Chains A and B, each alone.
Chain A
Amino acid sequence: MIHSLFLVNSSGDIFLEKHWKSVVSRSVCDYFFEAQERASEPENVPPVIPTPHHYLISVLRHRIYFVAVIQSEVPPLFVIEFLHRVVDTFQDYFGLCTEAAIKDNVVVVYELLEEMLDNGFPLATESNILKELIKPPTILRTVVNTITGSTNVGEQLPTGQLSVVPWRRTGVKYTNNEAYFDVVEEIDAIIDKSGSTITAEIQGVIDACVKLTGMPDLTLSFMNPRLLDDVSFHPCVRFKRWEAERILSFIPPDGNFRLLSYHVSSQNLVAIPVYVKHNITFREGSSQGRFELTLGPKQTMGKAVESVLVSSQLPRGVLNANLNASQGTYTFDPVTKLLTWDVGKINPQKLPSLKGSMSLQAGASKPDENPTIIIQFKIQQMAISGLKVNRLDMYGEKYKPFKGIKYMTKAGKFQVRT
């Protein structure tokens, strides 16, 4: 399936290669570089590139291209999903997946890749299994290893590999047993020029951090499970139980994992927590344009809208922007024409606004496109869909765990057309 893997950094250097079958010359990447040149933006490189003898399937994460070389028919999503899983694993091991981190840990990376694929077919991708095979590098462990001469590589077959719960290893022990769940919802919306909502949907995830001793069996129930329209689960969730009772029942993996991601049914009206008043105009013949933007909260159920960040790609003709922010700071990059305004918290009594003028290229005609405004925000302690966890119970173990649930709402792809 996957023949080879090349990692390419943003300046076009191949800084790591790994082959699972016979060696493929790195010159195959030339086809990739060609496609990269043709694409105007880094994300416009086609994920699948056919070459005379191979196919290149690539993903772009953290400004690194992961280019897999394929020789014969294989579902492209299979490869793409696997590459993303590789990146997630690196992130899990090294904290962040940058070129420097990979170069620093090249041996661990190599050992990981060796375990994850056998002859191009995925072998072990569960982070719990991998961590038993190859222990993540920490400073302490490096020191200990240097002194005692022990290694980072496990000698026994990971317990998860053979059990019916491959995602959890046996013999987990904690002194503080705790289970935290974060319900994070994102609002994707497109708001019309006039302020009416064109489309809005809520996507949510429940991320968990479970540190429990032994083999706990958890059940999580919701007050209003009907809200969840389309769900996808971590493999640990018992699907039949969900189908029948709308209860999440699972033996959790150890550590951090995504338990569930869901989509809130589109019949429910989505509350849009912020509104934008805008007036961006360019006058024909004049080299000035007006820019006015005011933000305000609405439908937030009394919670504060925080970490608000507004950004907008202004038309190419704009030379500079001379604006005045009532709150926070703004920057305008004259090269990329990107305007960003870090607003912070919205105070409902004194609405933040950004007003001023834009100077246009002299003599150029008025730009006929209007910029789109992209808004990011966070609302703590609230899931905008109204989803509420009813209770969390643990079976199978005797101790009493500490349980915590946190709610948060964020802007996903939240755009306002002007």
Chain B
Amino acid sequence: MKNSREFQNFYFENDVVRQVVIALPRHKVAHFTLNVYDNMAEGEEPMVVDGGNGDRSDWQGQWDHVKKFLERAGPFTHPDFEPSTESLQFLMDTCKILVIGAGGLGCELLKDLALSGFRHIHVVDMDTIDISNLNRQFLFRPKDVGRPKAEVAADFVNDRVLGCNVVPHFKKIQDLDESFYRQFHIVVCGLDSVVARRWMNGMLLSLLIYEDGVLDPSSIIPLIDGGTEGFKGNARVILPGMTACIDCTLELYPPQINFPMCTIASMPRLPEHCVEYVRILLWPKEKPFGDGEALDGDDPKHIQWVYQKSLDRAAEFSITGVTYRLTQGVVKRIIPAVASTNAVIAAACATEVFKIATSAYVPLNNYMVFNDVDGLYTYTFEAERKENCSACSQVPQDLQFLPSAKLQEVLDYLTENASLQMKSPAITTTLDGKNKTLYLQTVASIEERTRPNLSKTLKELGLVDGQELAVADVTTPQTVLFKLNFIS
């Protein structure tokens, strides 16, 4: 290999290890070397790429556009960049990219990566195709409705871009483990859920190795994250453990605002209030489609029922503006989406993947927002790490409470604090040398058993100053440790 710092092969427990130079903000760290194990997830077959590096699938000029950036020196490249023909071989033969989500951003990302020279791409998505995806998820056709997104997307790209090998996983991200995630050089997220983003962020953080409190840079898998809503979007680059992570900037995702129950129940003013009344209060009461039939936003019969009842409710209060479209929007919490914004954000993300994988340029540092409602506007800034981030800081988390505070208050704090925003935290601790669940919501029988604890004070529960509480939540694959500090 040509450059020891850039791409170096050596052997470690029979695994090929690749080194990729990552450019970092100049004022922070000039650069560091990232070792990424090219190891297979257990039980997985090694990937075979059609034609490998030449012959059948390639043709004259195929990579001419990409090569100019890899085989030529330039004034704006990363300081460690060395032009060579091997960079393209690295992209095509070795570099493994994971795309999370095969929706609006995911479809674009797969195309963008495949046409940038990447061939070993995995994609994870738990969803199946809905007709409302077709206005932007361009790898899907009406005949594909109902089929798994990951599989249809992978087939389409593999078929269109010869030599590309996209491997689909029709799964939840939570159903794949560390050994799966560890095999990738770079992860790109195209998700519409903050919880899933945080989980992915937490997973990559859990793969970090610290020796004597010092981060081993070779354990870092860069995370490129994109998000869109209507005509707005953002793209960001995260080097887990080194630059601001998803949880460092949780305040950027404002918690979802729900209408107060008293508004819904007794003083509606907006058409949305009427729909929420039907969804939350009337549906469970009237059970229009039988006992146990949950409201399905994709079932037109269900939406039709909610729509009619919402109209009745609105008429009762002289509220106007309930439509079928609005009803569906409220029930499914629909976020508007167009092809164009997804194309822009995915493209920016894919450019960053290319920069990191090739060190052809210094990557984005580290956050770009985009809005094209009024003209075209972008803003690029450096999101800062949060010193005591509960996900990435390695700083023990303190909880300050009076001994007379009730467990419910601790629970509320975990869900409502802007920098924690947990969803259904499960709290356990060690009492008298035994593991004890103080509260757990996700299993009905345990919830019932532990519910009385919520109205007990911390003191009554036998907790002491300095007590360690382990909190598990859907927002992270790891439990978060908190130290309880009694204030007086």
A binds B: no
